[in-house]
Amino acid sequence: MLKLIQAEFKKYLLEVKTYYPDQIVDLVTRYILFTAFFYGFVYHVRNSTGYYVAYMYWIIASSIISELSMSLSFEKQAGTIEQLIIKPYPLWLILTVKTYVVLLITALKCVLLFVIIKVTLPISLQFDLNLIWILLVSVIGFTGIGLALSGLTMKFTKTASFESIISYCLLFFSGTIIPFDKMPDLVQRVLNVIPFTAGINMSQKLLEGGSQILPVLLWLLFINLACFLLGYLIFQAIFRNVKVNGILNTY
């Protein structure tokens, strides 16, 4: 497992080095987006800094979900997918580690972004270290959704529209557009068992000082593991189907 992490980490660093202008543009775009969203909308219109948590969740969830299917799509296009499946590590694990490496670098870029925001904008960001645990547990569930989507990419190759739908749904259900408490009761109940919204909800409660971390984490862990298991099973079922139909390397 360590070899796999080492292999993917070193490869991604080389990728970042090769395509560094893209990384700089990405950072600038995120800064502009965050400034417009956070400073303009949340800080002035909603007057609450708790919303940045929802925004952060949305960025992380979207990048995990899209990265998993994008990396599979890239391997298909590059013609390296079959080389990956004949390696001692299972394909789902290789894709997941690839995604986590990207996520780690993205997280480091986000930290840099927050520092720049702190220095350049007159705002104060609330932060609780326990947010990290909630976020890490939520990553498990996001991975499940990402695996299911990359399974679909394996079969249908181009799934950018699937990805967009999921991403917009996540943005809608993040509570940033319509706050949770303004949504109908039934929707609120359903959202509480969806890992993404449950994580945001609990993080916001934690910031407001209204939650105990352990029971929150246990519940989150349960629903995220269930989501992961479902995504993993969907991925494996599609993988088997693709092996039967022989369309793994078609692009």
Partner 1 sequence: MYTVSNLWKSYEKKAPPVLKGLSFEIHKGEILGILGVNGAGKTTLIKLLLRALEASDGSMEFLGTDLAKFPLAQYYQTVSAVLEKDRNVYWYLTGIQNIQYFGRLKKLKDGEISEKADRLMRAFDLYDARNQIAGNYSRGMLQKLSIIIAMLGNPQVLFLDEPTLGLDVITKKAVMHNLKQLARQENTTIVLTSHQLDVIDEITDRVLVLENGGIAYIGKTSDFKHLYSENKYTVTMSGRLDKKNSALSGCTIEEKEATTEIILHNTSNREINKLISHLLEKDYEIIAFSKDSHRLEDVMELFIQRGSDKSA
Decide if 55 contacts 173 (C-beta within 8 A). no
Question: Which of 219, 183, 182 is closest to 199 using CA atoms?
Answer: 219
- In our burial notation (b when 16+ CB lie closer than 10 A, e otherwise), range 234-245 reads bbeebbeebeee
- Would you say 8 or 163 has its CB closer to partner 1? 8
Q: How many C-beta atoms surround the C-beta of residue 140 within 10 A?
A: 19
Q: Using the rule CB under 8 A, is 83 a contact of partner 1?
A: yes
Find the radius of gyration of the CA atoms of the chain: 19
d(CA 10, CA 129): 29
- Would you say 84 or 230 has its CB closer to partner 1? 84
Percent of the chain that is helix, strand, coil (3-state, to 5)? 80, 0, 20
Q: Using the rule CB under 8 A, is 124 a contact of partner 1?
A: no
Q: Using the rule CB under 8 A, is 244 a contact of partner 1?
A: yes
The interface region with partner 1, picked from 44-52, 187-195, 216-224, 238-246 by CB under 8 A, is 238-246
Residues in contact with partner 1, counted by CB under 8 A, come to a total of 31
- Name which position in 32, 33, 36, 78 contacts partner 1 (CB under 8 A): 78
d(CA 160, CA 137): 26
d(CA 82, CA 88): 13
Q: How many C-beta atoms surround the C-beta of residue 80 within 10 A?
A: 12
- Would you say 71 or 174 has its CB closer to partner 1? 71
- Name which position in 35, 37, 90, 133 contacts partner 1 (CB under 8 A): 90
- Would you say 10 or 118 has its CB closer to partner 1? 10
Q: Using the rule CB under 8 A, is 89 a contact of partner 1?
A: yes
The interface region with partner 1, picked from 4-12, 60-68, 150-158, 160-168 by CB under 8 A, is 4-12
Q: Using the rule CB under 8 A, is 245 a contact of partner 1?
A: yes
Q: Using the rule CB under 8 A, is 14 a contact of partner 1?
A: yes
Binding site for partner 1 (CB under 8 A): 3-4, 6-7, 10-11, 14-15, 18-19, 78-90, 94, 240, 243-246, 248-249
